[in-house]
Amino acid sequence: MNKNFLKVTGLAAMIAFTAACKDAENEVEAKEEAEVAEATMEAVTYNVDTQNSKIAWVGSKVAGEHTGNIMLKDGMVKVNGEELESGEFTVDMTSIEVTDLEGESATNLKAHLEGTVEGKETDFFNTPKYPTAKFVVTGVESKEGKTMLMGNLTLKDVTKNVAFPVMVSYEGNKMMLKSEPFEIDRTDWGIKYGSSNFTDVVKDKAIDDDIQLTVDLVATK
């Protein structure tokens, strides 16, 4: 067998293995709903600044990817000293923004994701029926040098507990929380449109089950 072929094959396998490990590292495991965290009496309330907070998203398919943002409707966190003890925020699912497209293409994708197109309401988020999503903190822990934020994420009336790494900082009366990019499997919340695991879809038209999210939250007391 050609030695160059072996080298190329080995390199391809190494790249594929590295990519798989990277994806596995970023993907969070959806677990059963957990008990909500309660703050101490000493905790101070920080209210989410909805104008300066957002969740960035990336959705992928064989042909490429789409990117965008989702805004928050409201929220608060309770902090004791500089330790986040509890909190919750509501996501405005009708605010989905598409940033990689322009004009009619962006408008059409937004409408499809939000479910405002007749006959396609249930494909993704069905915002006429489920206009908001919610995240409620169930705990914070240190793991392998990272701060892990745990919480119940509710999408379309399905609640799962997830944990993802965050960085928290303070400046005057302001608290900033930013997550590392992490991935959730949308099918854990019953969103199966275009998934090759649940529907008979042409391979090059399949949409990845994983959605990458990055939380960027600002709150003030």
pTM: 0.86
DSSP class per residue in 152-170? EEEETTEEEEEEEEEEEEE
Residue 168 CA to residue 185 CA, distance in Å, equals: 25
Average pLDDT, integer, range 144-148:
94
- H/E stretch holding 6 reads helix 3-26
Beta-bridge partner residues of 31: 161
Strand partners, 92: 71, 132
Q: Which residues pair with 161 in a beta bridge?
A: 31, 152
| Close Cβ partners of 12 (under 8 Å, ≥ 6 residues apart) | none
29-95+130-220 placed in CATH 2.30.330.10: no
Q: pLDDT tens-digit profile of 30-42?
A: 999 999 999 999 9
The ranges assigned to domains in the chain are 29-95+130-220
Write down the pLDDT at residue 155: 98
24-81 pLDDT tens trace:
568 899 999 999 999 999 999 999 999 999 999 999 988 899 999 999 999 999 999 9
The span from the CA of 66 to the CA of 208, in Å, is: 11
